[in-house]
Structure 1
Amino acid sequence: MNLDEYYGRRVLVDQPQWQETIPPTSVEVMPTMELHGQRVRCLRCGHETNRRLAALPNDEFYCPHCINLGRVSTLNKFYHVPEPNQFTVQRPVLTWTGQLSPLQEEAAVKVDQGLAARWYQLLWAVTGAGKTEMMFYGIAHALERGERLAVASPRVDVCLELYPRLEAAFQNTTMVLLHGRQELPYRYAQLTVCTTHQLLRFYHAFDNLIIDEVDAFPFAANDALLYASQQAIKEDGGCLYLTATPGPVLLRRVKRGELTVSYLPLRYHGHLLPRINLQLAPGWRRGLRRGHLPTSLVARLRRSLADGYRFLLFLPHVADLAAVEPLLRETLPGCSFATVHATDRHRLAKVQAMRDGKYDFLVTTTIMERGVTFPEIDVFVLGADEPIFSSSALVQIAGRAGRAVSRPTGTVCFWIATQCRRVRSAVRQVDFMNRKGRSLQQ
């Protein structure tokens, strides 16, 4: 067996193997489940389940909560080898030659200090601030110290976007990319890029863990992934959370002093975020069923097009795309656009066509709230008060505008049927960061 496959990991081994094979003395054989009265606790994801719901034949038990990673049960054991940090550091560690803005530099120094001290810290940076580049100095110094690091994100597409950037920035460092669709085998590496689900496979592995887009689904609402992130960090390790939209759990931890926090309220071009404008449209769904779009929405779309600006129009549900598309073709004749949603087979091609300037606008769902950048666009949301739009999603959507130096402003407008807390929270978050940004501009 290759011991390095077990370094800092909990590798699931089934009953015949762990009963018939004696592992080397350096390998710890660990239980997978704990029984507490009528409850069964999974030691991989931390969930507790009623014995009746977790029962297997012959008084054995399994965990139904993390079964998508392979069934873990009392028939299994974990093989684990404590992380030895067996790395050869090749210099230069940092091969990135870009430049940070003064504000990015200031935030990067704080990140570096936090990683060196192994703090639990939050970097609250507005969308489009350049969070990835601000990690580079801290990661480089940690790698030079011989630490093992992971950069994790809840979303596969973010990991796929991060990996080549980190690979280019740290060309002399061993790296591995891990996610559920990965076909390449696991290998031991000093820097791991992975989805937060993959952290369930690690145990006290990382000296520092960086979680990007920490507010994104599914991490933000998943106790198992929070448990996994804590288990993956060494007992004396640190964690850096990166987000533009911290949720209430993170903010409470900041208030309790469990997290240090750094702010970056301005984008790299030094401008404030476009402010969210609200428009009441109480009967827009009824009007849609009758074949009408809100008059104020149509007027706003026409104004953007007349001013020469493209836009994204977000709708709550996929079914709304089919209802709105013919109305837009009727009211905006001569415009070129497409609808996009998560299961659209041509999604990537349509996004690329928008990047290439072939469309005047896209009509989409929340699938495009993150990870896409189009220069000089406006952003509109119809039905922003519907439950599908969380406050963090709305901030991310608003953050699609104003990202280009050539047009650092842009118009952001939400049409709502009624006032709601999620929309108010999104407006407050943008205004809060803009107040901090103004203090830096003075």
Structure 2
Amino acid sequence: MDASILYGRQIVLGEKDLEGLNNLRVKPALVVGKRGVICQRCGQTTSLKLARLPTGKYYCPNCLLLGRLTSADQLYNLPEPHLFEYKKNSLTWQGQLSKYQEKCSAQLQTVVKHGGKHLLWAVTGAGKTEMLFETINWALQTGKRVGLASPRVDVCNELFPRLQAAFAKTPMILLHGHAKESYRYTQLVVATTHQLLRFYQAFDLLIIDEVDAFPFVDDPGLHYAANNALIPGGTLVYLTATPSRKLLAAVKKKELSVSYLPLRFHGYLLPTINLVAVAKLRSQLDEGILNSKIKKILLRWQEEGYQFLVFVPRIALLKPVYQAIANLLKPELKGQTVYANDGQRIEKVAKMRAQEYRYLVTTTILERGVTFPGINIMVLAADDSNFSTAALVQIAGRAGRNKARPTGDVYFFCQDYTRTVKAACKQIKFLNRKGKKLKQDE
């Protein structure tokens, strides 16, 4: 077995894999104590009763997604050796940052050179990825290892080709449950946050994109994995347009530094939300009935020629809503449904990006990370409890991300004007006020 597979990693090995490997660091996968079982991969504690197997051994139920760990397993590791060449310049991206982006980029570089934790809070479409390039470039130039992780597979799939184009001469790998390439040792790693469970003190710079997204936001095991994957003294950077209260509290306590950008990369403000009240909306949607107000907008979009996303709060609504839209529009306008566990999700998103589909009817799985130029947005039953304030802000932020069309339509259809909907509208207005002030202060 190639020893480089273990650099900065912690994985279970079979007897054959161990042949020829020297200086391995070994630890038990699970530590069994009187009060419970502690997993050395995800850091979570499970009661003895819940963790006990019929064989009398114990297992960790918290990180099963990465393969079952039992009390009979060992985790093997080799220290990160940084076997990378120092380069004059790794960045092949030819784009140019705005002065606002440059300021955030410079702040980030300063933080990374000293280590610690940092939040880059920028509105959807601000160009967060591009703001990372100079910082990543400095890290690669100085022989450091860089990880960029996201909770969502779709986000990783979108980030990877952009990083390949920006750092064309740097070996990198994409890691997630559907990835086709086997693991190999590279200086730059793009991965889902679940994949971080397999790393141990690997990255000098670890960036978590969409840090407030499910499942990372509420999963202590994934937070443990992120901290565990970082080399002591390294830098952990959080990216988001909608920081959680916990992150904002950490900023207030000065537990992490922050950069803030309320303007999009093209200098335009966020599209405002058009709220439309519809009586009996939920029962109509359940029956596959589109209100005349919804039909009017869809027919206008059909004539204008732009792609659009229609968000629904539950999987059960996908089929009736899609069928109603398909019956309304011209048959040559192709569309599809998509949701988190859709086996063809990646292919459908790729077809939408290639403009083979005019529209997608989707759950919140496409609320963030996936960009379609010139898109229009419709949210049906925006007042449903499945839509959080952060999700609604992210969904609205799908529109207006293209310089050729920096606005775009955003319609929220509601039966009730809930606190969540009010908060989403309020947050966008607040960010736009900040953006206007920034431009006025030039």
Output the TM-score relative to the length of structure 2.
0.89
Q: CA deviation at 1:48?
A: 1.0
- Name the count of aligned residue pairs: 439
Q: 1:339 to 1:87 in 2, by over 3 A?
A: closer
Q: How does 1:2-41 map to 2 (within 5 A)?
A: 2-13=2-13, 24=22, 26-41=23-38
* Counterpart residue identity of residue 253, structure 1: A
Match of 1:51 in 2: 48
* Counterpart residue identity of residue 13, structure 2: V
Please provide the CA RMSD for this pair.
2.8
Q: How does 1:102-113 map to 2 (within 5 A)?
A: 102-113=99-110
Q: 1:333 to 1:161 in 2, by over 3 A?
A: closer
Match of 1:387 in 2: 385
For 1:293 and 1:168, the matched residues in 2 are separated by 43
Tell me, yes or no, if the aligned pair for 2:302 and 2:329 is still in contact at 8 Å.
Answer: no
Q: CA deviation at 1:90?
A: 3.5
Q: CA deviation at 1:7?
A: 2.0
Match of 1:365 in 2: 363
For 2:55 and 2:66, the matched residues in 1 are separated by 23
> CA offsets, 1:266-321, max 9 Å, x none?
11110100112322224112334566433433344445556665533222233323
Match of 1:90 in 2: 87
- For structure 1, which runs of at least 5 residues remain unmatched after alignment? none
* Counterpart residue identity of residue 262, structure 2: P
Tell me, yes or no, if the aligned pair for 2:87 and 2:142 is still in contact at 8 Å.
Answer: no
SS of the residue corresponding to residue 250 of structure 1 reads helix
* Counterpart residue identity of residue 285, structure 1: R
SS of the residue corresponding to residue 50 of structure 2 reads coil
* Counterpart residue identity of residue 31, structure 2: E
Tell me, yes or no, if the aligned pair for 1:89 and 1:173 is still in contact at 8 Å.
Answer: no
For 1:45 and 1:284, the matched residues in 2 are separated by 43
Q: In percent, how many aligned pairs have the same letter? A: 48
Residues 1:99 and 2:81 are matched in the alignment? no
Q: How does 1:42-441 map to 2 (within 5 A)?
A: 42-56=39-53, 59-288=56-285, 292-304=289-301, 311-328=308-325, 336-342=333-339, 361-441=359-439
SS of the residue corresponding to residue 319 of structure 2 reads helix
Q: 1:21 to 1:61 in 2, by over 3 A?
A: farther
* Counterpart residue identity of residue 215, structure 2: P
Tell me, yes or no, if the aligned pair for 2:210 and 2:369 is still in contact at 8 Å.
Answer: no
For 1:434 and 1:41, the matched residues in 2 are separated by 46
Q: CA deviation at 1:204?
A: 1.3
Tell me, yes or no, if the aligned pair for 1:7 and 1:81 is still in contact at 8 Å.
Answer: yes
- For structure 2, which runs of at least 5 residues remain unmatched after alignment? none
For 2:297 and 2:168, the matched residues in 1 are separated by 47
Tell me, yes or no, if the aligned pair for 1:27 and 1:79 is still in contact at 8 Å.
Answer: yes
Output the TM-score relative to the length of structure 1.
0.89
For 1:358 and 1:208, the matched residues in 2 are separated by 38
